[in-house]
Amino acid sequence: MPASPPAFVAVDWNGTVVPFFGLDPYPDALATLGRLRASGVPLVVVSRAHPRTIRDEVARLALDADEVHGVLDKAPVLADLAAARGRGVFVGDTASDQAAARAADVPFVQARLEGGPAFGDAPDFLRWADFETALLAALAAVG
């Protein structure tokens, strides 16, 4: 973990933690997120889903998250998190995730777990075991 850890890490769900609702998580996703939270970094799930659907999904995998948000627009939730908690990071897999992070002025890390192309200049990772390197790059980019 960096010397100055993020105030929170927010993660998208489909394509980031799991390929799709009801499926097993990507390898190392739960362990990596669990270690992050155990180190004191608040973990927040922000998904474009009905609130009950995403709460049920997080519970299904027993992911210990500090907050779970099912929303249509992720940017306001990310902006509220940043205003309340400070400098955080959003992890997602789509260009719309990156746009939400930019709109909220929150650093973005791209999850490329299906091997898709990188977009923009965001730090990225191809497997959860490499997430911390991308997190460090995102934090370094914003100082």
pLDDT digits (tens, 9 = 90+) for 105-141: 999 999 999 998 998 788 999 999 999 999 988 888 7
Domain membership of residue 1 (yes or no) is: no
Domain membership of residue 2 (yes or no) is: no
Which residue segment(s) compose the domain that 75 sits in?
A: 9-142
- CATH number of the domain where residue 45 is located: 3.40.50.1000
Secondary structure of residue 134 in the 3-state scheme: helix
Domain membership of residue 103 (yes or no) is: yes
Task: List the end-to-end C-alpha distance of the chain, in Å, as a whole number.
Answer: 15
Give the whole-angstrom CA distance, residue 133 versus residue 117. 18
Domain count of the fold of the chain: 1
The residues, ordered by sequence, that sit 6+ positions from 45 with a Cβ below 8 Å of its Cβ are 10, 11, 12, 13, 17, 54, 58, 63, 65, 67, 68, 69
Secondary structure of residue 110 in the 3-state scheme: strand
pLDDT digits (tens, 9 = 90+) for 58-104: 999 999 999 999 999 999 999 999 999 999 999 999 999 999 999 99
